Structure 1
Amino acid sequence: MSVLSFRDVSVCYGSHTVLKGVSLDIAQGEIVGLVGESGSGKSTLARAAVGLAPLTGGRILLDDRPVPTRGRERPVQMVFQDPYSSLDPRMTVGESIAEAMRERLGKQARRAEIARLLALVHLDAARADDRPGRLSGGQRQRVALARALAARPEVILADEITSALDVSVQGAVLNLVREMRRELDLSLLFISHNLAVVRYVADRVAVMYDGEIVEHGPTTQVLGSPQHEYTRHLLTAVPGAAHRASAGNRHDVLSPTPKEHT
C-alpha cells in the first residue's frame, strides 16, 4: 500500500518561514483535503513534494522512501490551479499527454494510450489533435488530469483545481476526481480554500494556518465539530456549512451533474 508521508516538513525563503514542521499522511486510495486561507502554506507543501520548493527541514516519503523528483518516473504528480497556463499552447493535447508518459511508445500504441487517458477524463479521443486554445477551462483541466495520469502516479496533488472554473463545471471535475479515486485506487491531496468543495470529495481534512496544521481528522468530524478556533472561522465564511456538516450529509453541498463534458 502506497503512503505519501510528510514528516516535520519545513520550508523557508530567506528569513520567512512558510512551513513549520508539517506532518501528514495520505494513504492509498484516500482523498485528504488540505484547507486554509491564501498564504497559509497549502500550495508550498504540495510544491515541496514534487521538488518545486526546497526543504529546510524534514522529509517527504513514499512508502518510507524519498519521493523521486527527477527523471521520467515520478510517482507523485501535481495538477495546478490555472488550466489556462498549465498546458503549452504550442503543443496539441496529444503531444502534452505523450510528453508525460514514462515509456516511449510507437505511434499507434501512443495514440491508443492517449485515447485511453482522454476517455478516463471523459474527453473524446479526437481532442488529441486540438491545441489548448480550442478548449474550455473545464476541458483544459481534464487534459491536465489526463497528463498527470500519463505518468502512472501513485499520488496526485490537486492544487485548487476547481477554483478558476465556473460552478457548474466545478461539479463535473469534482465528480471526475471521485471517479478516478474509485476506479484507479489513486491517493489524492486535494488543496482548496473552499470547504464545501473539500467536504464533497475528501475522506479526511487537514486545516492549515500560518504554515502549521492546526486540526486534522475525518471530514465529518472536523467540519461538523471543529475544535480549533481557525477552523470555526473558516466555517463561518460558508453560509449554512456548519449546519450541513453536523447533519452528516456530504451530498447537499454540491450537486454536480455526472460525467459533465464541459
Structure 2
Amino acid sequence: MSSLELRGITVRYGRFTAVENVDLLVPEGTVTGLVGGSGSGKSTLGKAVVGLAPMQSGRVLVAGRSDAGRRRGRSPVQLVFQNPYASLDPRMTIGATVAEALPREAVSRETPARKAPERERRAACDAEVARYLELVGIDPARAVLTPDALSGGQRQRVALARALAARPAVLIADEITSALDVSVQGAVLNLLRRLQRELGFAMLFISHNLAVVRYLSDQVAVMDGGHLVECGPTERVLERPEHPATRNLISCVPTFALAEEAS
C-alpha cells in the first residue's frame, strides 16, 4: 500500500490558472473524495497527477517518493476516465487492452520474459488477462471482443481492469459512473469499493455526486476556483461544513440540506 501526496500543484493554460498551489494527502489504503462545482479544477488536478495536464509547479509523491514505482516505465498511479468508450481503443480487443497494461514481470513469474518461449509468454499473459477480467466481473471468454460489443457498464469495468493490471499503488477515478445508466452505477460503485478494500490501493475519487462520495470516501476534499478550500473526514465535512463553497454544494442536494438544517 502507498500514499499519494500532492505538494503545491499549480496548473496553468496560458494566463488562466486552473489549479493553484494545491496540497493534498491521500493516506495509504484510504479513499479521498474530491468534489467541487463545474470548473473548480478537480478533474484538472487528477489529470495533472498522471501527467495529462501541464503542471506549472509542484510535486507528486507516492509513498513519499517522486519516482516510486517508475522503474521499467511503470507508473504507480493510474487514471480511470469518465467516458469508458472514449478511453478504450475501438480497434483493440479488450484482452489486448488489459494485456498492454501488464508489467513485464507479470507475464512470466518463473522464467524471465526475455528467455521464455513465445508460447509460454503468451499463455502467462492470457492467464493474467483472464484474472483481471474476472476480478471486475467480466467473463474472460469476452477477451476477444472489441469495446463496441460491450455495454457502457462493461466497458467501464474493462477500463478498471486495465488500470488495475498495471498494479498501481494509487488509483484516480474521475467521474467514472456519471456516463453510466443509473441502474448500472450502483453495481460499478460496489465493485470499486470492494476492490479498493481487497487490494488496498489508495484512491482519489473525483465526483460531483455527494451521496456517492459519502458512500465511498474516508475523507473529502473540496475545490473551488482552482483552490482546495476544505478537507477533512467525510462525516465532518458533509455534516458540519466550514467553507461557504462546501455549504453551497451541500445545499444543492436536498437530503444533505435537510440533514444540515436538522442539525
SS of the equivalent of 2:22 reads strand
Q: Is 1:172 matched with 2:187? A: yes
Q: Is 1:49 matched with 2:64? A: no
SS of the equivalent of 2:58 reads strand
Q: How far apart are the structure 1 equivalents of 2:2 and 2:261?
A: 32
Q: How far apart are the structure 1 equivalents of 2:104 and 2:260?
A: 45
* Cα 1:196/1:246, change in 2 over 3 Å: farther
Give, as a single letter, the amino acid of the residue that structure 1 aligns with 2:85. Answer: Y
Counterpart contact for 1:81–1:161, Cα < 8 Å:
yes
Q: How far apart are the structure 2 equivalents of 1:133 and 1:21?
A: 40
Tell me which residue corresponds to 1:91. 92
Which of residues 107, 117, 136 is equivalent to 2:151? 136
Q: How far apart are the structure 1 equivalents of 2:163 and 2:202?
A: 13
Unaligned runs of 5+ in 2: 108-120
Instruction: Name the stretch that deviates more: 232-241 or 137-146.
Output: 232-241
Counterpart contact for 1:223–1:242, Cα < 8 Å:
no
SS of the equivalent of 2:84 reads coil
* Cα 1:247/1:124, change in 2 over 3 Å: farther
Structure 1 residues 19-56: Cα deviation after superposition (integer angstroms, max 9, x where no partner): 11100011111000000112111111111111111221
Calculate the TM-score normalised by the size of structure 1: 0.90
Counterpart contact for 1:224–1:246, Cα < 8 Å:
no
Q: How far apart are the structure 2 equivalents of 1:114 and 1:247?
A: 50
For the pair shown, the structure with the greater C-alpha radius of gyration is 2
Q: Is 1:151 matched with 2:166? A: yes
Q: Is 1:241 matched with 2:256? A: yes
Residue 242 of structure 1, CA deviation: 3.5
Q: How far apart are the structure 1 equivalents of 2:67 and 2:214?
A: 28
Structure 1 residues 73-97: Cα deviation after superposition (integer angstroms, max 9, x where no partner): 1110000000111100100010000
Tell me which residue corresponds to 1:225. 240
* Cα 1:40/1:70, change in 2 over 3 Å: farther
CA RMSD of aligned residues (A): 1.8
Structure 1 residues 161-185: Cα deviation after superposition (integer angstroms, max 9, x where no partner): 0110111111111101110111100
Q: How far apart are the structure 2 equivalents of 1:67 and 1:236?
A: 41
Alignment coverage as a number of residue pairs? 248
Which of residues 118, 135, 138 is equivalent to 1:123? 138
Tell me which residue corresponds to 1:37. 37
Q: How does 1:197-212 map to 2 (within 5 A)?
A: 197-212=212-227
Q: How far apart are the structure 2 equivalents of 1:133 and 1:245?
A: 44
Calculate the TM-score normalised by the size of structure 2: 0.90
* Cα 1:40/1:71, change in 2 over 3 Å: farther
Larger relative helix fraction: 2
What percent identity do the matched residue pairs reach?
58
Instruction: Name the stretch that deviates more: 99-108 or 179-188.
Output: 99-108
Counterpart contact for 2:31–2:202, Cα < 8 Å:
yes
Unaligned runs of 5+ in 1: 249-262
Q: How far apart are the structure 2 equivalents of 1:147 and 1:122?
A: 13
Tell me which residue corresponds to 2:2. 2
Give, as a single letter, the amino acid of the residue that structure 2 aligns with 1:177. Answer: L
Structure 1 residues 137-167: Cα deviation after superposition (integer angstroms, max 9, x where no partner): 0000000000001101000000010110111
Give, as a single letter, the amino acid of the residue that structure 1 aligns with 2:97. Answer: S
Q: How far apart are the structure 2 equivalents of 1:37 and 1:245?
A: 19
